[in-house]
Structure 1
Amino acid sequence: MRKSIRTLARSIFVAVMLVNAAAADPGTAEDRAALFDYILTATLERTAFSPYKITNIGPTQYRSIEELVRGESLKLRDEFIAADTDEKLFYALQKLSSVRWDSHLHVYPIEGGLELDAFNPDSGGKIETWTEHAPIKFKPDYGDIDHQYLFVSDFSKNIGKLTDNGTPAIGDSLTAVNGQPVEDYLDRLRRYHGKSSTNSLWWDMAYSLPLKEWFIDPSLYDGNTITLELRRQNGEQYELELPYVRYETIEWSGHDDHYTDVARAEYVRLVDGFAEQDEVFNAWKYPGYERIFSTASFDLYTHEDRETFLLKWNYFTRDVREHIQQFIDYAEDNNKLHYATIWDGMRTRGGNYGVWMLQRMQPHPFKTTFGNLRISDTTEALASGLRETALKRIDEQGRHAEVSNVREIMHPDNGQFLIEWLDSDLTTAIENNQPYSNNVPFKNYYLPKYSDGMVYPADVHLTGPLILFVGPAGCSQVDQFVSMVVDNKLGYSVGMPAGGCSNTWEWVEELKFPISGEPVARYMWSVGHTIRPNGEVMEGNSSPVDDYIPLTAENYLDYYKQLFEFAYRHIEEQQE
């Protein structure tokens, strides 16, 4: 029988009494063992495990994701206890976090805690370290689910001058990294990437491989260069030794875009010359389309001959409602509300306001996502923090305009709906020691707890067909947005399922060594399920696309052409 957190705390208190205070410094093996046991116990008691995830992460000996997390964590215990330097322990924490297969969960240094030379606290580890990039990019070949591999997706125009072995070709497969067979190298790399699905893991490993990432053990890197062994399509093997250089100095050949997440998308907009390179790539990707305007959330294009809008989605920014309203106003002012809309979410990540967007991007009522909380030792503190934040927001902004009934709600609530749930249903669940709270409309940020989850179109909305381009880079709000479209049959989707990561809330804790009390690092837990409109847990369980087209080395250069062929076929069918 495993110990509860409270029982474990009592055991640690006894250990403190038995250990000389002067000897109980942060570097002791005893403290590391106590910390490991605390994290594992907390993980098993706090985590909102998804029953679907175990079937979507490939062959495994485990029967459930909870069993996998416990088993794989215990395999790391000896390494964790033996980690006698700050860097060793931080990377052991990173590996321990990653066994949970959860894209939302990260480990960060904190003031007074473990110190990392590679971490730049001013950048959050997201921009400065990212600039160290080899002048080559990779994508996964998803054609055979049992034999995925990485292939060259882009390279700098001057790559031939950086090496004696010529220029790579798009589609060349990767066979070794820094003298290690690629299978062995990726097995080491994946241990630092806690992704919610196998496809998402492969996407991120391909993306990460040419970079120097601050959260990855430096032993995976070979100084200031990376040595790659590749195989041409005719079977010829060759080797490239490439330097790491600042990203903005690379002039790419133009076969791949620049980013897959928020920080990198914003970085493209801030660095001179990036936007121009990106536009060249978009012209190749979107033939026949003219850019109308750009926002931080998306770039809007039109194809007038086909009466089609295209939203090249960047991410769901805080200002996305303003940006979407700008789009709707443009469509209304130019008599184009009937145009079809293609939402290209192949490179985007999370955020908010997907419900608000869908009220304006299509003409049908729909059911939103729901969510809950797992009841644990953190729930009361989390609820208190949520209540405090909601009250502050209400004080600053007021509630949304009063409406006579739920079906007239057209804007998010500023927090009163959430407070009503926190003070009633959630409080009762805590008092009765339920394993989970009840399911309510997602975070009650749009609808009250008693709602059936249905929302209705805004007065002014698009009426044409809605098409989604979807891929495994998408996560969080992307998964929710796609699920609302797919599960409610609001539109058509093509490509590959999104990354499969979504929760209601995370619990964030600044870890301390249990014996000495010294700070360690910031650690996170997913503590609530997101529920798809069809009633299934979303984490590790993306909505399927209507037409599945796996990305491969063979179709890579024509991938968007294929997506558009399927999209136009659907639009024509809807217009007949």
Structure 2
Amino acid sequence: MNRWNDTHAEDLIGTIKDRADLYDYLVEATLRRQAISPAKNKLFDINVPRDMAHYRNDFLNATTPAELWYALAKLSNTRHDRHLSLEPVEGGLPLPAELQARMRFNHANKRADPAPRVGVELKTDFSSDQPFVFLSGYALNFEGNQNIEAGARLLKINGRSFADHVALTEPYFCYSTPHFYWYHMPNEIIRRTGLIPEWLQPATLALEFEDVNGTVQSLQLDYQPADHWQWADVPSPYSGFEQILDTPSFTLHTRADKDTIIIQWHGFGKSLTSDVDALMAYAQTNNLLGAHIIYDAKRSRGGDFGGYLLQHLSAHHIRINLGDLRLSDAIEGVIATVLGEDHAAIAEGNLNQAQLNATRWRRDWLLGTVRDDLKAGKEKTRAIPFKCAHQPENGSGILPPAPIHFTGKIVMLTVPYAGSHIDQVAAQLCDNKMCHHIGMPLGGFSKTWTHEEVLTFPRTGQKIASFAWSCGNTIRPNGEVLESNPAMPDTYFPITRNNHLTHHAEMVAMALEYFNRP
């Protein structure tokens, strides 16, 4: 029997005194360990003791494992750090397997999300500094009332005003910028992903809308398995272009005149260096090195090795990102994690010589300089090259272009879909003035390394969950901390209820128009 909602689970959730002791530990550990981002502190007015105190009673008064899990999630989310999420552990709070599967889906392709959902789509209108959510479409096999036109503004969710719904559910979201929160929040209204507790999501979903003429109408919706719904195909935004090359890292689109290519970027995975090599071989063979580039990062994920891509995109010498570590009792855990990840990467055989060199000097830095700085009582390390394996520890901080590289103009397209390494690459492109940036800012989450700890009750040793801290900052080429501070577009072009179907294609058209400017 799963004990997720067991009200007689003191052996799993401890006593009020146990939870009070753990709460005090979390506040103190966060004050010691969490890396400080000036931009984040200004944006969210971060105050760890005050912010965590908002949810202290929820944590202390939890009566089931489910209530304790969600109270702990709210405590974690007060850091406003997208990289930090709770993870279940063996012997800890007993999350149902189905719930774990939904939570692990994260924010990838929503059409493939396995969570139960309703047959309508919602999106956010960013046309003003007060975003709102609107109806953006219906499933092809939706059989309910379709008299409400796309674009109608969402007024109520399950009888609550939209503002009340946001106030009630926002603490369960893990995000680093408001743009990221508002971009993804509508998906949690129409899905039962487990991010929001089940007691806040009734078995059916009631939505009330107001159309552009002021008419108010309602929908009563049933959740169905995700694969129940059929959706219209999304038209390609790349009219006039042909898909030529497809790799795990990107898809390449070209057109007959060869003056412009589109690199539809997917992410920075283990095959990045070989994928970039394939791109350059194709470009050189087909006389594309002089082409302008639309670097479409609208759906890019994170990863590593972005410096290798940057070296090939242009003739620029690139001032790179740096990274530091806040020195605390978490450092030994960070060292063990980083060295373990490097060891695994070496064993997999996916690293080139420059990357292998980086693992060597990073090991020496962690075991030498970092430990020495910790013993000396320093607050943080100096900043070193971060996720840029082509620089030594004491390098110039400037990355030269690869011998074979593109020479045309670059336009980068982004929305607040993701962050992490794509945030880091975007910051380097923008701060080095290598591109013209169109769209909306990315998710704005970027750390160096984290420390994960299995939380236990001090008195009993009972495991609860894995809790993480970001222990270092990424420093952009412009000298600013990147966390909660993404590169801002040169041409801000927000998603709205009037352009949500054409937004992507319009960004591509704007990029092509930019290339035609004198």
For normalisation by structure 2, the TM-score amounts to: 0.91
Shift of 1:395: 6.8
Measure the CA separation in 2 of the matches of 1:173 and 1:25.
43
Shift of 1:110: 1.2
Q: Contact between 1:101 and 1:195, CA under 8 Å: does it hold in 2?
A: yes
Letter in 1 for 2:329: D
Measure the CA separation in 2 of the matches of 1:122 and 1:158.
26
For these two proteins, the number of residue pairs brought into alignment is 504
Measure the CA separation in 2 of the matches of 1:421 and 1:477.
22
Measure the CA separation in 2 of the matches of 1:521 and 1:324.
39
Residue 209 of structure 1 pairs with residue 189 of structure 2: yes
Q: 1:395 to 1:326 in 2, by over 3 A?
A: closer
1:221 match? 201
Q: Contact between 1:73 and 1:96, CA under 8 Å: does it hold in 2?
A: yes
Residue 290 of structure 1 pairs with residue 226 of structure 2: no
Measure the CA separation in 2 of the matches of 1:359 and 1:282.
32
2:131 match? 148
Q: CA deviation digits over 1:104-156, x for unaligned, max 9?
A: 010122111111236455676328973312222222111211x2111123321
Shift of 1:158: 2.4
Q: Contact between 2:115 and 2:193, CA under 8 Å: does it hold in 1?
A: no
1:88 match? 67
Residue 178 of structure 1 pairs with residue 158 of structure 2: yes
SS in 2 for 1:567: helix
SS in 2 for 1:133: coil
Shift of 1:321: 2.3
Q: 1:294 to 1:387 in 2, by over 3 A?
A: closer
Shift of 1:338: 1.3
Measure the CA separation in 2 of the matches of 1:305 and 1:241.
52
Q: 1:169 to 1:345 in 2, by over 3 A?
A: farther
1:352 match? 304
Runs of 5+ unmatched residues, structure 2: 1-9, 107-111
Letter in 1 for 2:35: A
Matches within 5 A, 1:460-499: 460-499=404-443
Measure the CA separation in 1 of the matches of 2:27 and 2:217.
44
Q: CA deviation digits over 1:409-448, x for unaligned, max 9?
A: 6x56451020121133212211111111110000564422
Q: Contact between 1:137 and 1:152, CA under 8 Å: does it hold in 2?
A: yes
Residue 501 of structure 1 pairs with residue 445 of structure 2: yes
Q: CA deviation digits over 1:213-267, x for unaligned, max 9?
A: 12321112111x31111122222111112222232332223xxxxxxxxxxxxxx
Q: Contact between 1:298 and 1:313, CA under 8 Å: does it hold in 2?
A: yes
Q: Contact between 2:289 and 2:405, CA under 8 Å: does it hold in 1?
A: yes
1:133 match? 117
2:43 match? 56
Matches within 5 A, 1:41-440: 41-57=28-44, 62=45, 65=46, 67=47, 69-117=48-96, 119-121=98-100, 125-126=104-105, 130-145=114-129, 147-159=130-142, 161=143, 163=144, 165-223=145-203, 225-253=204-232, 277=233, 281-283=234-236, 285-305=237-257, 307-390=259-342, 393=345, 397=349, 400-401=352-353, 413=357, 415-440=359-384
Shift of 1:500: 0.8
Measure the CA separation in 2 of the matches of 1:565 and 1:152.
25
Q: CA deviation digits over 1:336-364, x for unaligned, max 9?
A: 11111111112222111211111112221
Shift of 1:46: 0.4
2:22 match? 35
Q: 1:489 to 1:391 in 2, by over 3 A?
A: same
SS in 2 for 1:349: coil
Measure the CA separation in 1 of the matches of 2:295 and 2:150.
26
Q: Contact between 1:47 and 1:526, CA under 8 Å: does it hold in 2?
A: yes
SS in 2 for 1:132: coil
Measure the CA separation in 1 of the matches of 2:422 and 2:292.
20
2:497 match? 553
Measure the CA separation in 1 of the matches of 2:98 and 2:348.
35
1:457 match? 401
Measure the CA separation in 1 of the matches of 2:12 and 2:336.
33
Q: Contact between 2:305 and 2:389, CA under 8 Å: does it hold in 1?
A: no
Q: CA deviation digits over 1:75-107, x for unaligned, max 9?
A: 111111000210000000111111111110101
1:536 to 460, 464, 480: 480
Measure the CA separation in 2 of the matches of 1:231 and 1:441.
51
Letter in 2 for 1:210: I
Q: Contact between 2:453 and 2:467, CA under 8 Å: does it hold in 1?
A: yes
Letter in 2 for 1:193: F
**Which of 413-422 and 561-570 deviates more?**
561-570
What's the RMSD between the two structures over aligned residues? Answer: 2.3
Letter in 1 for 2:359: G
**Which of 333-342 and 44-53 deviates more?**
333-342
Shift of 1:506: 0.9
**Which of 450-459 and 559-568 deviates more?**
559-568
Q: 1:250 to 1:314 in 2, by over 3 A?
A: farther
